[in-house]
Amino acid sequence: MAVTTFIPQVWEAKLLTNFHKASIANVITTPPEEIKGNKIIFNRVGSVAVKDYAGSVSFDELTTSAAELDMDQKKYFAFKVKDVDKVQAAGELVDSHTAEASATLQENVDKYVLGLYTGAHADNVIGTDAAPKAIDKLNAYDYVVDLGTKLSQKKVPKADRFVVINSAFLGLLSKDDRFTRNPVVLENGVVEGQVINGMQVVVSEEVANVTGKYKIMALHKSGIGHGKQIEETEALRLEGDFADGIRGLMVYGAEVLRPEAVAVLTATIA
């Protein structure tokens, strides 16, 4: 085996492909306009004035402001393979080797993004850690509706809204006649065909949990900005072992860009 034949682009492409297939963070957030080194850049467009027409038209300057965010979160993976050459030659083996690493990375990123519930606008909060709402099959659906109403009151766009719940919450919703009895959860967490008060239902076990109090997050896609990249992937011959090592580093970051576009329910789930 010659580690010099290792092709990092093959492994990185597979990692990102698997990540994108399963990433909830990718579904519910806005990608950056640009990535410069370890910085991700988002552009915010200013509001456009609407005026009374009295025979003439005046033009305003359209302003944009850039929001820069450091990708300061770092996670690495490292695993052994018997022979890099053989794994690369058999393309399907690359998939099996990268799938597990990709899934673990995805869980960490989703947990980080869903932990940004603290950035929600103060008016968009239902329940607190001191006084959480008790969720059961009779009120689960109604509380999701209330989250959507919070977003509507802030004039958040109707399209690209999401509500992120966990499987226990989904189980309670499934017992409500207004929801489907047999929900189908896609690989990226989206519950197929299930929209409540204009919000696509998404399921993740990475929903923030503060001592048994879950943070059910509703948001518009513009509410949180998120970016990531595989910074480095390399192979090396392991000393004292008849195997090769493959390791890689992912950097990522996320931030609440529009607090008014995020709403949170703090709840205990029966």
| Chunked mean pLDDT (size 10), the chain, 270 residues | 61 67 87 85 73 87 75 85 62 58 83 96 96 97 98 96 97 94 90 96 96 97 90 75 78 93 96
pLDDT computed for residue 1 by the predictor: 45
Secondary structure percentages of the chain, helix, strand, coil, to 5: 30, 35, 35
Closest CA to 112 of 86, 147, 75: 75
pLDDT computed for residue 64 by the predictor: 64
- Whether residue 201 sits in one domain with residue 99: no
Asked if residues 244 and 83 have their Cβ atoms less than 8 Å apart, the reply is yes
How far apart CA 217 and CA 2 sit, in angstroms, is: 49
How far apart CA 169 and CA 155 sit, in angstroms, is: 27
- Whether residue 22 sits in one domain with residue 86: yes
The tally of CA atoms less than 13 A away on the side-chain side of residue 160 is: 14
- The answer to whether residue 52 is domain-embedded is no
- Whether residue 212 sits in one domain with residue 231: no
Q: Residue 188: which CATH number?
A: 3.30.2320
How far apart CA 52 and CA 226 sit, in angstroms, is: 39
How far apart CA 49 and CA 69 sit, in angstroms, is: 29
- The answer to whether residue 215 is domain-embedded is yes
- The answer to whether residue 204 is domain-embedded is yes
- Whether residue 27 sits in one domain with residue 88: yes
pLDDT computed for residue 93 by the predictor: 45
The separation between CA 84 and the C-alpha centre of its own chain, rounded to angstroms, equals 32
Asked if residues 159 and 222 have their Cβ atoms less than 8 Å apart, the reply is no
- Whether residue 229 sits in one domain with residue 110: yes
- Whether residue 167 sits in one domain with residue 72: no
Q: Which structural domain range is residue 214 located in?
A: 120-223+259-269
Per the structure, how many domains does the chain have?
2
How far apart CA 124 and CA 264 sit, in angstroms, is: 6
- Whether residue 21 sits in one domain with residue 139: no
Maximum CA pair distance of the chain?
84
pLDDT computed for residue 78 by the predictor: 81
Q: Residue 23: which CATH number?
A: 3.30.2400
- Whether residue 265 sits in one domain with residue 162: yes
- Whether residue 132 sits in one domain with residue 18: no
Q: How many residues does the chain have?
A: 270
Question: Phi-psi bin for 109: left (phi > 0), alpha (psi -120 to 50), beta?
Answer: alpha
How far apart CA 165 and CA 225 sit, in angstroms, is: 20
- Whether residue 160 sits in one domain with residue 216: yes
pLDDT computed for residue 169 by the predictor: 97
Whether this prediction's pTM lies above 0.95 is answered by: no
Q: Which residue matches tokens 């456009």?
A: 48
